[in-house]
Structure 1
Amino acid sequence: MKKTFEVSDRLFELYHRVHRLVNESMTEEGVSLARSKFLFFLSKLGPCRSTDIACALNFAPRTVTEAIDGLERDRLVMRKPDPEDRRAKIVSITETGRVVLEAAEHPRKQLLEEIFSALDDEELDALFDIVGKLVDRTDEIRKRKDEAEEAAQIAIAR
């Protein structure tokens, strides 16, 4: 059991170090890793409501609103009225946002290539498979927890 915790601690350590390095390199190009997630989402899926962004990225609606406010101030996104719901706004990436996102992607990719170059192709394939298994297991656990929570809510409602 001790080895499990040692490995998980190393994974968290790796994640935080990579996250910090990637964030620094992207910020030097004009957009943080966090802000780039919003821009990337909008560039791939196109204009959408902030509630759609919150749901897709698993962020609180207030967090998304604050992020969009900042991105809009920097002219990286723009809001327009939703033609189907006058209370809502449609958010889309601007041309400036696309340019900034593209500029920040290059150092991110370069840095990740440099980090993962420590592994040969066989090790990289093995790591990919191992991480995939762990992702699948966390999805199974999440599904069980969600089902148990839903069952508990139904029991309470009765």
Structure 2
Amino acid sequence: MKKTFEVSDKLFELYHRVHRLVNESMTEEGVSLARSKFLFFLSKLGPCRSTDIACALNFAPRTVTEAIDGLERDRLVMRKPDPEDRRAKIVSITETGRAVLQAAEHPRKQLIEEIFSALDDEQLDQLYDIVSKLVEKTDDIRKRKEEAEAAEIAVAR
């Protein structure tokens, strides 16, 4: 069991170190990793409501609103009235936002390549398989928890 926690701790350590390095390199190009998530989402899916962004990225609506305020202030996104709901706004990425996102993407990819160059092709394949198994297991656990919660709600009714 001790080895399980040691490996887990190493994975978290790796994640945090890579996250920090990637964030620093992207920020030098004009957009942080966190902000790039919003821009990437908008560039792939197109204009949408902030509630759609919050749901897709699993963020609180207030967090999304604050992030969009900052992105809009920097002219990376724009808001327009939603033609179907006058209370809502449609958020879209601007050309400036696309340019900033593209500029930040290159150093991110370069850094990831450099980090993973420590592994040969066989090791990369093994790591991919191992991480995929762990992702699948976490999905199974999440599904089981959601089913248990749904069952508890059904019993309470």
TM bin, normalised by shorter chain, reads over 0.9
CA distance in 2, matches of 1:7, 1:21: 21
**1:10 Cα shift?**
0.0
Deviation at 1:153, TM superposition (A): 4.7
Report how far residue 151 of structure 1 moved: 3.0
**How many residues get paired?**
157
CA RMSD of aligned residues (A): 1.0
Q: In structure 2, what is the Cα distance between the partners aligned to 1:157 and 1:78?
A: 45
In 2: Cα distance, 1:129 partner to 1:96 partner? 38
Q: How far is the alpha carbon of 1:152 from its aligned partner?
A: 4.9
How far residue 156 of structure 1 moved from its aligned partner, in angstroms, is: 5.8
* Per-residue CA distance 1:126-156 (angstroms, 9 max, x = gap): 00010000000000000111111x3355246
Taking the TM superposition and a 5 Å limit, the aligned residue runs for 1:83-102 are 83-102=83-102
Q: Distance in 1 between matches of 2:82 and 2:139?
A: 34
State the percentage of identical aligned residues: 91
Distance in 1 between residues matched to 2:61 and 2:151, nearest whole Å? 26
Taking the aligned partners of 2:48 and 2:130, their CA distance within structure 1 comes to 35
C-alpha distance in structure 1 between counterparts of 2:150 and 2:36, whole Å: 37
Q: Normalization by structure 2: what TM-score?
A: 0.97
Q: 1:146 to 1:126 in 2, by over 3 A?
A: same
SS in 1 for 2:79: strand
Find the aligned partners of 2:67 and 2:144 in 1 and give their Cα distance.
Answer: 32
Partner of 1:29: 29
Q: Over residues 13-38 of structure 1, what are the superposed CA-to-partner deviations in whole Å (9 max), with x where a residue is unaligned? A: 00000000000000000000000000
1:34-91 Cα offsets, whole Å, 9 max, x none, are: 0000000000000000000001000010000000000000000000000001010000
**Structure 1 unaligned spans of 5+:** none
Question: Which consecutive aligned stretches of 4+ in structure 1 deviate over 4 angstroms post-superposition?
Answer: none
Aligned equivalents of 2:86 and 2:39: distance in 1? 24
Q: Residues of 2 paired with 1:157 and 1:92: CA distance?
A: 42
> Gaps spanning 5+ residues in structure 2: where?
none
Structure 1 length as normaliser, TM-score?
0.97
The 3-state SS of whatever aligns with 1:118 is coil
